[in-house]
Amino acid sequence: MSIEIANESGVGVDEPSIVAAARFALDRMGVSPLAELSVLLVELDVMADLHQRWMDLPGPTDVMAFPMDELDSARRPDAAGLGPALLGDIVLCPDFAHDQAKKAGHSLLDELHLLTVHGVLHLLGYDHAEPAEEREMFTLQNRILGDFRTATAEAARQSAQREADSKLLGAVGLEDSDRPGPTA
């Protein structure tokens, strides 16, 4: 899966983590590993311009999704049997998201993960204009985010355990399996 990220926002964020959230969501939705996605982080004024131009709404917003026109709108990209596709672009505004994160009581990165998953779902044809659509989309979004957080925490735990094991092996003079041992 090709996910390109460009940070033009001036805000330092953990870009690989945002890509990981997007990749996790796409994997969970069964999107082809050959799919392509672009994530762009922008400043408030750029987001306000996009919001006005494409949604005819004033001021900036947190996330916008721009699906590619080449996709068959009658068939979502997460449908079985779909091959490679250029999914589209997700545009995030970290400055706008920062205020939302504070109100929600979590970190900016947590908010950007949420917005990334939200954008992915929009690219896959999900919407929240109607109450039933909103329930479906937000239930799916929350499930994906929960699974992503669990997987990320488990990966961090395993990494810390490997590091601790390596230090212990080194302290007692045993060879670490990552280092080449003596050859016969």
Among 13, 28, 9, which residue's Cα sits nearest to residue 111? 13
Among 105, 130, 117, which residue's Cα sits nearest to residue 63? 117
Q: Is 98 annotated as a binding residue?
A: no
Q: Is 122 annotated as a binding residue?
A: yes
- Report whether 128 contacts 142 (CB < 8 A): no
Binding residues for Zn(2+): 118, 122, 128
Residue positions in the annotated binding site? 118, 122, 128
